[in-house]
């Protein structure tokens, strides 16, 4: 999981995850869409980060889609989230990676 303490996290993200935690009952299947530059290593990088935070994730289930102009690649995954901390740690790790433009 993530070694960051809660005090190191973005307050805006903390509020969003507070609201999300109120709506979810863990464990829960949780979909994520990760968007980044269309480069060869993007999909492998994303699935590697997901596996580091959700070891039971099967990379074969990841779906990829190229943007209409071909500049961006989205990777859609669904993980079995065990806790808010796991989900937030994964989101933070993905968002911090230089190849990642957006995490939805």
Q: The pTM is what?
A: 0.83
Given a cut of 50, whether residue 5 has pLDDT beyond it is no
Percent of the chain surpassing pLDDT 90? 75
Structure confidence at residue 15 as a pLDDT band (50, 70, 90): confident
* Domains of the chain with bracketed CATH: 8-103 (3.30.70.260)
Q: Who's near 102: CB < 8 A, 6+ residues apart?
A: 34, 35, 36
CA dihedral 54, 58, 61, 67 (to 10 degrees): 50
Write down the pLDDT at residue 68. 96
Q: Token digits for 84?
A: 């808010």
Q: How many CB atoms lie within 10 A of CB 59?
A: 14
How far is the CA of 31 from the CAs of 11, 39, 77, in angstroms?
Answer: 23, 22, 6
The mean per-residue pLDDT over the stretch 34-45 comes to 96
């Amino acid at each position: 999981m993530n070694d960051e303490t809660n005090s190191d996290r973005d307050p805006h993200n903390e509020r969003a995850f507070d609201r999300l935690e109120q709506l979810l009952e863990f464990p829960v299947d949780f979909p994520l869409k990760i968007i980044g530059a269309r480069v060869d290593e993007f999909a492998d990088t994303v699935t590697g980060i997901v596996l580091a935070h959700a070891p039971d994730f099967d990379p074969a289930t990841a779906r990829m889609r190229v943007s209409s102009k071909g500049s961006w690649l989205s990777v859609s995954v669904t993980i079995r989230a065990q806790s808010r901390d796991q989900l937030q740690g994964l989101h933070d790790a993905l968002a911090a990676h230089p190849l990642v433009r957006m995490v939805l």
